[in-house]
């Protein structure tokens, strides 16, 4: 995702929809970088809890 505003909208919207702080999830997948402070701040600003489990380890289908 090359457009920083679009990326910010996507990460914040996904977190809001899930009602979870998905910052670490998107960072683990390589979408969100530590240097993108404005996006991290926006996600943390939602005040949502972090997922109880590592979502990158979940199998989508069994």
Measured distance CA(43)–CA(15) in Å, rounded: 7
For residue 3, name the pLDDT band (cuts at 50, 70, 90): confident
For residue 22, name the pLDDT band (cuts at 50, 70, 90): very high
Measured distance CA(56)–CA(38) in Å, rounded: 23
| Helix/strand number for the chain, H first, E second | 3, 0
CB 46 within 8 A of CB 21: yes
Structure tokens of 5?
A: 């505003």
Q: Which residue has the higher pLDDT, 4 or 38?
A: 38
Q: Kindly tell me if the per-residue pLDDT of 61 is higher than 80.
A: no
């Amino acid at each position: 995702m090359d457009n920083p505003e679009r990326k910010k909208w996507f990460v914040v919207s996904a977190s809001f929809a899930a009602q979870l702080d998905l910052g670490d999830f998107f960072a683990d997948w390589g979408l969100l970088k530590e240097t993108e402070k404005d996006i991290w701040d926006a996600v943390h600003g939602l005040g949502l809890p972090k997922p109880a489990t590592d979502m990158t380890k979940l199998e989508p289908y069994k």
